[in-house]
Amino acid sequence: MYSYNAICEDDTVLLSPRLKTIKALRARYFRNREMFEDQGPVTEIVVFKGGRIHGYYTPEFKLDRSKPAYIHNIFYGRV
């Protein structure tokens, strides 16, 4: 099960429910994007698989390969 935290410029964190696929998460993000535009622009999306970080994504929901999720999971003891 996947979920995401969308981090806005004003340090607001928007949470998603758990969904079965990343494709479903992406669709939900774009479907609900207008609802949280008053929070400020989204700067980063962190996708979780269970309790681990699965990957970092851009505001366009594209995988950001410059930030390795595996390293962050090691730092936070989620390996």
pLDDT given for residue 34 in this prediction: 77
Q: d(Cα 42, Cα 31) in Å, to the nearest integer? A: 14
Q: pTM of the entire structure?
A: 0.85
pLDDT given for residue 77 in this prediction: 66
User: For residue 42, what are the domain limits?
Assistant: 2-75
pLDDT given for residue 51 in this prediction: 84
Q: d(Cα 17, Cα 1) in Å, to the nearest integer? A: 9
Reading the chain (79 residues) residue by residue, the pLDDT tens digits are 999 999 988 888 889 999 999 999 999 999 888 777 777 788 999 999 988 989 999 999 999 988 888 776 676 665 5
pLDDT given for residue 76 in this prediction: 65
Structural domain total, the chain: 1
